[in-house]
Chains A and B, each alone.
Chain A
Amino acid sequence: EVRLLQSGGGCVQPGGSRRLSCAASGFTFSSYAMSWVRQAPEKGLEWVSAISGSGDTYYADSAKGRFTISRDNSKNTLYLQMNSLRADDAAVYYCAKDNLPVSGTRYYDYWGQGSLVTVSS
């Protein structure tokens, strides 16, 4: 059974940092691209970042220079390091798995439970 278990959410002050983690199980983690998608309160979905199985990374403009996606294939874990957080970064952050192996990070068939990040002083 595929499982994505997220951790690391919480409240952070503006300008602060937070690292989200997504522990994967039930599939060959290194063979699949992984992504982060966020959803601000009462808003739609926003793609944030993606990483291929081999480590190629992609970012939304809103994340470039502030967020870093990474993965540890030996630990089957995906990360999102978020720095210089702003009020408009407040959202539920989901990690998501590609639906096909080595497919170039396109479609997401399994999602984590979500991690709420609030940005407030």
Chain B
Amino acid sequence: DIQMTQSPSSVSASVGDRVTITCRASQGIGSWLAWYQQKPGKAPQLLIYAASSFQSGVPSRFSGSGSGTNFTLTISSLQPEDFATYYCQQANSFPRTFGQGTKVEIK
């Protein structure tokens, strides 16, 4: 199985900050990667797929990059509604696997 490792596990940031979350795959997955946002008690929401493609309706402050084994989710200017947990997910092979999550907290 492909292991997905996110860093950091949590980050404290202020509104307006630039936040970067990384995701590393245990083997190459091409660009088969998605990023999700999850708020407490809610279902996850797809932000980015195919490593860098925007899901419809997602604010442009979210962006994704990377290929192979190293990927990044960037929030260019953190907004109050962005405080949540973020997960990466590989879609290269079965079983699909998620990272352990990165919690973005208010500083």
* B-binding residues in A (CB < 8 A): 35, 37, 44-47, 50, 58-61, 94, 99, 105-109, 111-114
Residues from 18 to 66 in B contacting A, C-beta threshold 8 Å: 32, 34, 36, 38, 43-46, 49-50, 55
Interface residues on B, range: 20 to 34
* A-binding residues in B (CB < 8 A): 1, 32, 34, 36, 38, 43-46, 49-50, 55, 87, 89, 91, 94-101
Cβ A60 vs Cβ B95 within 8 A: yes
Residue pairs across A and B with CB atoms within 8 Å: the count is 57
Cβ A45 vs Cβ B98 within 8 A: yes
Q: What are 18 A-B residue pairs whose CB atoms fall within 8 Å in the complex? A: A44-B99, A44-B100, A45-B36, A45-B98, A47-B98, A50-B94, A50-B96, A59-B95, A61-B1, A99-B46, A106-B49, A106-B91, A107-B50, A108-B44, A108-B46, A111-B44, A111-B45, A114-B43
Cβ A107 vs Cβ B34 within 8 A: yes
